[in-house]
């Protein structure tokens, strides 16, 4: 169960969320059919989920290989002591081909996920854009050779 503002999500809410994660284009009528929940209930629950901020937006799933960016890399970044890590996170997140960036606890301060066309493009991004920043003390890159996305 998820709690927010004294509201709990039950099995029906989670069923609706699960179906929308698979296909955010589903109409309320199709959601009702897929879940067995009456359409009026589906409508009311979706409104509640949006109101609680559980549903923030409806989006798409992109096949990056078909866009010419099949290579996925995760880069761990250690910031120079004393710098504003939030500002560094914002600069990294704004770089081209960065899918997501997070501040993390542990030996590194930031991790980000990049999708690029080739190793050459990745090297250009790392050697050019990233290492030129004087606020980065160290970086470690991990290449993904297969990914399964749970939607």
- 78 and 120 assigned to the same domain: yes
- 37 and 71 assigned to the same domain: no
- 84 and 118 assigned to the same domain: yes
In a domain? residue 149: no
pLDDT of the residue at 5: 44
pLDDT of the residue at 151: 61
Give the separation between CA 132 and CA 139, rounded to whole angstroms: 12
- 37 and 97 assigned to the same domain: no
In a domain? residue 57: no
- 47 and 98 assigned to the same domain: no
- 139 and 80 assigned to the same domain: yes
pLDDT of the residue at 131: 80
Using a pLDDT cut of 90, give the percent of the chain over it: 79
pLDDT of the residue at 6: 44
Low-confidence ranges of the chain (pLDDT < 50): 1, 5-6
> Residue 13 sits in which domain range?
3-51
* Mean predicted lDDT score pLDDT of the chain: 91
- 136 and 98 assigned to the same domain: yes
- 28 and 76 assigned to the same domain: no
The pLDDT tens digits of the residues spanning 94-114 come to 998 999 999 999 999 999 999
- 69 and 113 assigned to the same domain: yes
């Amino acid at each position: 169960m998820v709690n927010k503002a004294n509201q709990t999500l039950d099995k029906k809410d989670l069923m609706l969320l699960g179906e929308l994660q698979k296909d955010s284009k589903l109409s309320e009528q199709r959601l009702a059919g897929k879940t067995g929940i009456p359409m009026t209930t589906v409508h009311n629950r979706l409104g509640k989920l949006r109101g609680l901020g559980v549903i923030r937006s409806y989006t798409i799933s992109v096949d990056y290989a078909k866009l010419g960016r099949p290579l996925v890399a995760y880069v761990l970044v250690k910031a120079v002591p004393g710098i504003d890590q939030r500002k560094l996170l914002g600069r990294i997140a704004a770089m081209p081909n960065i899918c997501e960036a997070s501040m993390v606890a542990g030996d590194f301060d930031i991790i980000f996920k990049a999708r690029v066309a080739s190793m050459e493009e990745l090297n250009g991004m790392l050697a050019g854009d990233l290492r030129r920043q004087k606020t980065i003390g160290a970086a470690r890159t991990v290449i993904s050779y297969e990914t399964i996305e749970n939607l």
